[in-house]
Chains A and B, each alone.
Chain A
């Protein structure tokens, strides 16, 4: 009982606009999802300023910054891909998507490395938490947030990489044209949004604490 695509839209542009608007609305809900974590960070910063500072000082600024650079570049590469899709150049779009996915994988690889280093340094907020001193409690809570937030972000990255790879395949097979780029655009919105979340997390975890 599959309906033909666009059976109730005034035009393909109407349908494309609708899909894009739908994705923005979904991203608004995702913003509130991560927003809850930002709220947790905010109350932490107010109540345990010393703990946040202590925790941030032990966060791996180098890897964090590298990762941010990688993600920003991936947003660039994907947006270039969107442009190619609008020009009808399917192969170029596919390459752009592959580069994007590759950068995403690089991000996750570095993240895993960073997590490994964190574990080695005893920064997991369990029984053997390594930080001591007056602000250890606050730092413990800071790392709670760190692991939950970066873990959730990583999960979103995984989904994003999967979606981008799907776009790469469909673009290679010539599914898109100047008249039909909706999935490419919608996926791009999701990918850049995950990037936006990372920019905020980067600031909250690695930078603001070091004041």
Chain B
């Protein structure tokens, strides 16, 4: 019970850090705090650390494959110059076809 309460407090604190950082235009801190929050939730509230080996494998697998998607996909986007629409001001107004 205490363990859970302390974990909750820690999560709230991290949330507060993110909130303040957002206000202070230092939002990049979320790249650090969000993963910590996710891991904490997974390990404590979802008992990931004490679940059977199989469950843990499944959990890690999910994380690994998202990383693959984001990682290899980012290769294209980090190198390719964007399609010529950087300086667009207004969104288009063409109506979508009737469905």
Contact = CB atoms under 8 A, between A and B. Distances in A.
B82 A209 contact: no
A61 B22 contact: yes
Given A21-B54, A28-B62, A32-B69, A132 B90 contact: yes
B16 to A, nearest CB: 8
Interface in B23-42: 23, 25-31, 33-34, 37-38, 41-42
Interface in A114-166: 125-127, 129, 132-134, 136-137, 140
Nearest to B34: A203
B65 A32 contact: yes
Contact of B66 (A35, A203, A210): A35
B49 interface: no
Q: Which of A35, A61, A83, A132 has the most CB of B within 10 A?
A: A35
B91 A127 contact: yes
B28 A39 contact: no
A43 B44 CA distance: 32
Interface residues of A, number: 58
A38 B70 contact: yes
A62 B63 CA distance: 29
A24 B28 contact: no
Contacts of B28: 208, 211
B66 A32 contact: yes
A179 B34 CA distance: 35
B89 A38 contact: no
A196 interface: yes
Contact of B26 (A134, A189, A199, A211): A211
Interface of B: 1, 4-5, 7-8, 11-12, 15, 18-19, 21-23, 25-31, 33-34, 37-38, 41-42, 44-46, 51-52, 54-56, 58-59, 61-63, 65-66, 69-70, 73-74, 77-78, 82, 85-91, 93
**Closest 5 A/B residue pairs (Cβ):** A28-B62, A137-B88, A203-B30, A203-B34, A31-B62
10 contacts: A24-B55, A25-B58, A35-B69, A39-B69, A61-B22, A65-B18, A75-B41, A80-B4, A188-B45, A200-B38
Given A35-B66, A73-B8, A195-B41, 13 more contacts: A20-B55, A24-B51, A72-B41, A78-B45, A132-B90, A192-B41, A192-B46, A195-B45, A196-B38, A199-B38, A203-B33, A203-B34, A211-B25
